[in-house]
Amino acid sequence: MTAPPHAAWLVDLDGTLYAPLPVKLLMGLSVLCFGLRHAKLLRQFRREHEVLRETMTESVEDPFALQLARTAEKLGRPTDEVERVVRTWMLERPLPFVRRFRRAALLNEIERYRAGGGKTALVSDYPARGKLAALGAERLFDVVVASGEPGGPGRLKPWPDGYLKAAEALGIAPSECLVIGDRADADGLAASQAGMTFRHVAAQERRSAGRTVTRSAHTPQPHKQRP
């Protein structure tokens, strides 16, 4: 007997809707060739993201702005300069690679699910509009909850804020939501905290009969007590 279908799919973006390894590799080469002077800034910005995941307890208006401000403070650089570099190198320059390595099978699956009456939301800890456009996926989601964009989450994953906000906006109970994401320690744990089921999309996946093969849906057990 198969499990009943979920009323809503809440989907992560980075590393889930495109294959992350080739995109990271190509962007690493791009920075090496054309943006080496920005490498330290970009590294610090990513580090602040992981620190915020672990340490933020209070909800804030815009976690993306907080991440930019903390990076600027650590490096002693103006926030607007940090933002310009981050937007160029993390949100704009990757777009051709994001499009090239889009997970077509998963995107098609989401499209079929939505056509069959399922509700869908995109939940991201980074601004999402540009990448959604590059993926040709702007119309696949009823709701977008993205850090750095209006209506974004108050806290980053593994806090469940973004997924709960998406479920509320869709009018679907958390227990009827399926979270689809690539990080068990972020998406999976957030799903667990929100009372949702989790489907893990592995970084390197096999393909079979045109379908993306992912690990079976499960609710991960946290290694330690997290938010």
Q: Which residue is nearest to Mg ion (CB)?
A: 15
Minimum distance between the CB of residue 211 and Mg ion, rounded to whole angstroms? 20
Give the residue with the Cβ less far from Mg ion, 12 or 161: 12
Size of the site for Mg ion (CB under 5 A): 4
Give the residue with the Cβ less far from Mg ion, 14 or 161: 14
Give the residue with the Cβ less far from Mg ion, 53 or 119: 53
Give the residue with the Cβ less far from Mg ion, 51 or 202: 202
Give the residue with the Cβ less far from Mg ion, 174 or 188: 188
Minimum distance between the CB of residue 49 and Mg ion, rounded to whole angstroms? 11
Q: Is there a cis peptide before residue 160, judged by omega within 30 degrees of 0?
A: no
Euclidean distance between CA atoms 161 and 86, whole angstroms: 24
Give the residue with the Cβ less far from Mg ion, 24 or 74: 24
Minimum distance between the CB of residue 109 and Mg ion, rounded to whole angstroms? 17
Q: Which two tokens stand for residue 113?
A: 């699910």
Minimum distance between the CB of residue 86 and Mg ion, rounded to whole angstroms? 17
Minimum distance between the CB of residue 76 and Mg ion, rounded to whole angstroms? 30
Question: Do residues 217 and 178 lie in contact, with contact meaning Cβ atoms separated by under 8 Å?
Answer: yes
Q: How many helices (H) and strands (E) does the chain have?
A: 9, 7
Give the residue with the Cβ less far from Mg ion, 133 or 202: 202
Euclidean distance between CA atoms 72 and 66, whole angstroms: 10
Minimum distance between the CB of residue 201 and Mg ion, rounded to whole angstroms? 9
Residues of this chain, 2-61, that bind Mg ion according to CB under 5 A: 12, 14-15
Residues of this chain, 125-164, that bind Mg ion according to CB under 5 A: none
Q: Should residue 83 be labelled a site residue for Mg ion when binding is judged by CB under 5 A?
A: no
DSSP string for 161-204: HHHHHHHHHHT--GGGEEEEES-IIIIIHHHHHHT-EEEE--SS
Question: Do residues 203 and 94 lie in contact, with contact meaning Cβ atoms separated by under 8 Å?
Answer: no
The closest alpha carbon to 102, from 14, 28, 213, belongs to 14
Apex CA 198: angle with CA 56 and CA 211, to 5°?
A: 130
Q: Under 8 Å CB-to-CB from 110, ≥6 apart: which residues?
A: 9, 11, 120, 137, 140
**Binding string, residues 179-198; x marks residues near Mg ion by CB under 5 A:** ---x----------------
Minimum distance between the CB of residue 24 and Mg ion, rounded to whole angstroms? 12
Q: Name the site residues for Mg ion (rule: CB under 5 A).
A: 12, 14-15, 182
